[in-house]
Structure 1
Amino acid sequence: MRSNFFSKITSTLAGITLLLSVNHATAESAHGIAMYGQPDLPEDFTSLPYANPDAPKGGRVVFGNTGGFDTLNPFVQKGTAPWQLRFWGYESLMGRSWDEPFSLYGLLAESIETPDDRSWVEFTLRPEARFSDGSPVTVDDVIWSYETLGTIGHLRYRGFWSKIESITQTGPRKVRIVFNTEDRELALIAGLRPILKKGQWEGKDFTTSGPSEAPIGTGAYVVAASDPGRYVSLQRDPNYWGENLPFRKGTQNFDEMRVEFFGDQTVLFEAFKVGELTAVREYNAGKWDQGYNFPAVQSGDVVKSEIPHQRPSGITGLAMNTRRAPFDDWRVREALLYAFNFEYINGTVTGGTQPRITSYYSNSALGMNPGPAKGRVRDLLEPYADTLLPGALDGYSLPVSDGTERNRKNLRTATKLLSDAGWEVQDGVLQNSTGEAFEFSVLLRQGDGEMQTIVEMYARSLERLGITVTTETVDNAQYVARQNDYDFDMTRYRRDLSLSPGNEQYLYWGRSGVTQTGTRNLMGVDSPAVEALIPEMLNAFSAEHFISAVRALDRALTTGRYVIPIWQFDKGRIAHAKELQFPDRLPLYGDRLGFMPDVWWYQPN
């Protein structure tokens, strides 16, 4: 078994400390960069370790999405684009290896330079780098892309721009970015911004591009045809500039990648069963075991593949909007956690086969340990003891029911918590002191049948407490718009987390997201501890310090009681046409971005 990153990296700490003590004023050009230590792959690597460099090119793959889209520009805040677009058709200066926690290798850039303190970073563009229209990628395009995305692009790009002091051309193919913030991750983030063509947008409004024009990118795929609400088709560019790069060997093998759109997941699955789609991901272990026995599986035309991984569980469940009463009271949130009968719901929906998410970083070395906080984790949390909720320092775990539908013991605890918060049952209705009934709605995306079932079961439990729950099911555009505006009481929430969390944590639960719309802080996390622990994590110079900071952050988030967690996706489950193949060597992150469809290929009988 491959050694764990966090045990392996410990052996490099002495070398890192020595380098830091020298405090070099200059930097050396390198083919790659890692968050800690050195990247695993040498300068003369021939391909990514989880790619098959001999994979054949050709074939067609068809995926399915629910909902629709109204723009082909995935880089702006306005509108809804097919989520796959920003990964299939666009590239950055550096590319990420998904077999390492956080390491980058040259893509549009042939090299990277940064000093030991990472106060600046400089990239040298490859002379052969081209956009899909054949024009060269220039430093001017790079600078324009960073500024445009950082000022009027999607919010996911704007936080980074605020940490740039200057971005300048330092040579014919060189661009240097100087940072105004002490943050060791910024040099890596700088390598991951998408690069777009400046000339395409002269005299046009980048923010209002709709379904008729996609940004020109440098990737191997270009949008060939689309029909909003129905499909989008991407074709592999026969003149793709990066075909022979070691980083691209064995990747991007299909001639066409197509996404079909469906009203809900049930219709999508039926389309897969009859061969209209060539691959689906299944997130329900119970359905995986019981629902994939249709004729194509029995004949072997459809194959079920399971992809293990070593990444954190992330957080999946129902987010409570703490900007609104009564969710601003932690006792109410705790009561709603007790009322959520996970063991019974899990048994009904998945057959009880998927383990529960126990914290944001559970299932990894970054997850909080059981029991009281100790050592450096405690040291990091104690300055904020008066703002932390019960359990952060002394230990916390999610409520566990007896597995029966009645869940009586936990409902009694929930009743006590609600009473402490000023809610009492009058004539079968839970009310506060002013006579206001406890009622709320759950915002769901159309077609999310599984979560609809979960909410219906949850609502029956809450009825026993005198709480009325309604479900608002809306189309994709309304769903995205309302989440962006935090216009909901409770909503489905899913946040993938990596083995190297960084600046994206501000977007997920930074305090600015309490009022600034469009962030991923749907819950309205407003925690001094969380706000302080993110930079603590970003500026860690050792793996030990880094792990302690993330574990402390995990405690603050979990005990904040912002989300009612459901089950974790402990492995990837992909059903696919037998002609679709993938390498035997799997990446550390498993079925994550960069795996399917990137390293898959079509192998005819």
Structure 2
Amino acid sequence: MFRSASLLAAILALQGMLGAPAMAEPRHALSLLGEPKYAADFSHLDYANPDAPKGGSLRLSAIGGFDSFNPFIVRGNVAAGVGLTVDSLMEQTMDDASAEYGLIAESIEVAPDNLSVVFHLRPEARFHDGSPITAEDVIWTFNALKTDGRPIYRHYYNDVTNAAALDAHSVRFDFATDQNKELAQILGQLPVLSKRYYETHAFAETSLTPFLGSGPYRIGKFESNRFVELERVEDYWARDLPLRRGLHNFDRIRYDYFRDRSIAFEAFTSHQFDYWSENSASAWATAYDFPAREAGLVKKEEIRHYQPTGMSGLVFNLRRPIFQNPALREALDHAFDFEWSNRQLFYGQYARTKSYFSNSDLAATGKPSALELEYLEPLRGRIPDDVFGEAYQPPVTDGTGNIRKSLGNALTILKEAGYELRDGKLIDPKSGQPIAFEILLVQPNFERVVNPIVKNLARLGIVARVRTVDSAQYESRLNDYDFDVIAAGFPQSESPGNEQREFWGSAAADQPGSRNLIGIQDPAVDELIEKLIAAPDREHLVAASRALDRVLQQGHYLIPLFHITSDRIAYWNKFSHPEVTPRYGVAVIAWWYDADKAARLKASESSAR
């Protein structure tokens, strides 16, 4: 036993220097699926115009309000656009979902044994005050996020055992396991903050003092809860990097805040801001007959994307005793008549979401494959038997609005589980109390989706109340898990991994502000998550994702809602953009202000007054 802690530390440090792991050749990018799309000598992204002019402004909208510029902690309502003020070690593009390319990091070396990674920083990388970004900044940021940041960082970095500076511009992270294949890329997403700045500023507090950033924009003028402006950094250190060339072309990006989306849309139609992303099928079908749109001043486009759409649903909070019975949760799914809603409310634009990995090959279909069973069989007896049959299919109706059969199936499930109907009320067999709960919303326009479900629940003897609150109250209640049911989404990528711990992992369930909104605490789910993270190749990753999907589906943790595989956008016609649209969504950061179009638009608006 060592008697001196300082002696032990010195010996361990010496061993670390002498026994540093052998590293692979430096790379400009990392990919989970073979080689990255862009080679080391690429000049610009396919969806960027390297000759795009700089200038002009882009006016956008945001809902609710803000009281903080600190996006790294749970507390506070963060202002829109803050992410554009800080750069990360690496960055994912919108046309290569499995890869990340060096941004602050000029090159990356992953050890052959997958137990460490080294990031070599670009010497020219700078914060907005001109100070260099160094290894000390990276290490300080890592420790601050893991200690005081949002819960997601602790889950992401759970398998990182140490961070050490090799020199002023090189950082090595050591891993606890060689099975976490995406951990190097997880670390690549690290936003790098200034250690020196936070020597005189509190990191773990909300603040309306803009922090020292390094990204293409900085915070300019703002008024809390009303607007915030981002100003393009003229001497931005990365402006000529291939990863950045042709992007971030607007001199100013302004977000104006509105109480809700209906008010914001009215403001858009009168050109109080420039760009609108539509999330309402009804509005998309009926609300664009305003004069400016009919005159061609506003363009309306529906653009196909191939982004996995994940899961969206009415989420049950398992922290509430009422929802701890899976039979009740399964029965509640029968109260959503998707086919009627899609026809009457959504103009046939949506597809029913069935999988937690929808719109991807990671979604479970049919019966489990042999490889899926390798993941599932060890859990037999601890997971529902239905997992080993056909993948879960939500109830289907004829779309007429008559769902007597579906509600009858729900009552059968409830009666078999011991629930009783007394005087038209469904009684909980444990508490002896009527089943009643609140559905918490933040957008009034979603009430039209939920209200028909509430009526169907009433036919089952269940009282469901809808309550819509402002964004600040909603965010606070979510962080504290102070809700019964909410409408929420769980986005996925083509390469799921560590983030699944925060979505469904037991350790996240009781951490305020985590994304385990459901409150799942199931060792079987935890085991599947770890096996998914450790998947050695794409074949096993797909099988592990499908196995996890099946278990989550049969847990009946939510009422699956719907999704769409296109972006619906409208914008005032004063912008131009590259001909290439990236595979995974609309890249507004690649658009630019077109002075000629803007002049014609201004003249048309003036003549119309």
Q: CA deviation at 1:307?
A: 2.0
Structure 2 residue 508 is matched with structure 1 residue 513? yes
Select between 118-127 and 379-388 the one with higher mean Cα deviation: 379-388
Alignment partners' CA distance in 1, 2:384 and 2:569: 39
Q: 1:489 aligns with which of 475, 484, 493?
A: 484
2:78 — aligned with what? 81
Alignment partners' CA distance in 2, 1:337 and 1:493: 15
Select between 383-392 and 337-346 the one with higher mean Cα deviation: 383-392
Q: CA deviation at 1:83?
A: 4.4
Q: CA deviation at 1:528?
A: 2.9
Q: 1:602 aligns with which of 558, 582, 593?
A: 593
Q: Deviations over 1:404-454 (max 9, x none)?
A: 223100000111112122221111222234541111001111xx1232111
1:367 — aligned with what? 363
Alignment partners' CA distance in 2, 1:85 and 1:430: 47
Structure 2 residue 144 is matched with structure 1 residue 153? no
Alignment partners' CA distance in 1, 2:290 and 2:141: 48
Contact 2:262 2:445 (8 Å CA) reproduced: no
2:235 — aligned with what? 239
Q: CA deviation at 1:144?
A: 0.7
Q: CA deviation at 1:73?
A: 0.8
Structure 2 residue 527 is matched with structure 1 residue 532? yes
2:13 — aligned with what? none
Alignment partners' CA distance in 2, 1:390 and 1:562: 16
Q: CA deviation at 1:353?
A: 2.0
Contact 1:307 1:573 (8 Å CA) reproduced: yes
2:332 — aligned with what? 336
Contact 2:502 2:515 (8 Å CA) reproduced: yes
1:226 — aligned with what? 222
Structure 2 residue 556 is matched with structure 1 residue 561? yes
Q: CA deviation at 1:529?
A: 3.1
Structure 2 CA distance for partners of 1:288 and 1:124, relative to 1, 3 Å: same
Alignment partners' CA distance in 2, 1:25 and 1:238: 41
Q: Deviations over 1:161-180 (max 9, x none)?
A: 33222111112311111112
Q: Aligned AA for 1:104?
A: E
Q: CA deviation at 1:345?
A: 2.0
Which SS does the other structure have where 1:414 is aligned?
helix
Q: 1:201 aligns with which of 176, 198, 201?
A: 198
Q: How does 1:30-49 map to 2 (within 5 A)?
A: 30-49=27-46
Q: How does 1:313-328 map to 2 (within 5 A)?
A: 313-328=309-324
Contact 2:160 2:175 (8 Å CA) reproduced: yes
Q: 1:444 aligns with which of 431, 441, 446?
A: 441
Structure 2 residue 388 is matched with structure 1 residue 393? yes
1:15 — aligned with what? none
Q: Deviations over 1:376-407 (max 9, x none)?
A: 01221121122223531101211112212231
2:134 — aligned with what? 138
Structure 2 CA distance for partners of 1:90 and 1:454, relative to 1, 3 Å: same
Contact 2:231 2:252 (8 Å CA) reproduced: yes
Q: Aligned AA for 2:578?
A: P
Give every structure 1 segment of 4 or more consecutive aligned residues whose post-TM-superposition deviation is greater than 6 Å.
none
Q: Give the number of the structure whose alpha-carbon radius of gyration is greater.
A: 2
Q: Aligned AA for 2:194?
A: K
Alignment partners' CA distance in 2, 1:413 and 1:160: 41
Q: How does 1:261-300 map to 2 (within 5 A)?
A: 261-300=257-296
Q: Deviations over 1:187-218 (max 9, x none)?
A: 1111111011112221432111322x122111
Contact 2:150 2:514 (8 Å CA) reproduced: no
Alignment partners' CA distance in 1, 2:371 and 2:319: 32
Alignment partners' CA distance in 2, 1:205 and 1:464: 53
Alignment partners' CA distance in 1, 2:447 and 2:95: 35
Which SS does the other structure have where 2:52 is aligned?
coil
1:381 — aligned with what? 376
2:3 — aligned with what? none
Q: Deviations over 1:115-139 (max 9, x none)?
A: 2332111111111111111111111
The TM-score normalised by the length of structure 2 is 0.91
Q: CA deviation at 1:82?
A: 2.4
Contact 2:444 2:468 (8 Å CA) reproduced: no
1:578 — aligned with what? 573
Alignment partners' CA distance in 2, 1:491 and 1:236: 37
Select between 193-202 and 416-425 the one with higher mean Cα deviation: 416-425
Contact 1:97 1:104 (8 Å CA) reproduced: yes
2:59 — aligned with what? 62
Q: CA deviation at 1:101?
A: 2.5
Contact 1:151 1:161 (8 Å CA) reproduced: no
1:476 — aligned with what? 471
Percent identical residues: 39
1:588 — aligned with what? 583
1:5 — aligned with what? none
Q: 1:426 aligns with which of 422, 436, 440?
A: 422
Alignment partners' CA distance in 1, 2:220 and 2:102: 28
RMSD: 1.5
Alignment partners' CA distance in 2, 1:577 and 1:37: 40
Alignment partners' CA distance in 2, 1:431 and 1:80: 39
Contact 2:349 2:564 (8 Å CA) reproduced: no
1:546 — aligned with what? 541
Alignment partners' CA distance in 2, 1:201 and 1:69: 22
1:461 — aligned with what? 456
Select between 285-294 and 464-473 the one with higher mean Cα deviation: 285-294
Structure 2 residue 68 is matched with structure 1 residue 71? yes
2:605 — aligned with what? none
Q: CA deviation at 1:348?
A: 2.4
Q: CA deviation at 1:256?
A: 0.6
Q: CA deviation at 1:469?
A: 0.9
Alignment partners' CA distance in 1, 2:82 and 2:163: 27
The TM-score normalised by the length of structure 1 is 0.92
Alignment partners' CA distance in 2, 1:219 and 1:547: 35
Which SS does the other structure have where 1:457 is aligned?
helix
Gaps of 5+ in 2: 1-20, 598-609
Q: Aligned AA for 2:438?
A: S
Structure 2 CA distance for partners of 1:378 and 1:563, relative to 1, 3 Å: same
Q: CA deviation at 1:580?
A: 2.2
Q: Aligned AA for 1:502?
A: G
Contact 2:525 2:551 (8 Å CA) reproduced: yes
Select between 253-262 and 577-586 the one with higher mean Cα deviation: 577-586
Q: CA deviation at 1:254?
A: 0.7
Q: Aligned AA for 2:53?
A: P
Q: Deviations over 1:301-333 (max 9, x none)?
A: 111122211122211121011221221111101
1:11 — aligned with what? none
Q: Deviations over 1:218-273 (max 9, x none)?
A: 10100001111111110101111111111101111111111111111110000000
Q: Aligned AA for 1:568?
A: H
Contact 1:312 1:360 (8 Å CA) reproduced: no
Structure 2 residue 171 is matched with structure 1 residue 171? no
Alignment partners' CA distance in 1, 2:451 and 2:61: 26
Alignment partners' CA distance in 2, 1:110 and 1:49: 20
Q: Tell me the matched-pair count.
A: 573
Alignment partners' CA distance in 2, 1:571 and 1:557: 26
Structure 2 residue 409 is matched with structure 1 residue 409? no
Alignment partners' CA distance in 2, 1:188 and 1:542: 15
Q: CA deviation at 1:51?
A: 1.4
Q: Deviations over 1:323-366 (max 9, x none)?
A: 21221111101110011111122222212221111211122111
Contact 2:386 2:554 (8 Å CA) reproduced: yes
Q: Aligned AA for 1:580?
A: F
Q: 1:50 aligns with which of 43, 47, 50?
A: 47
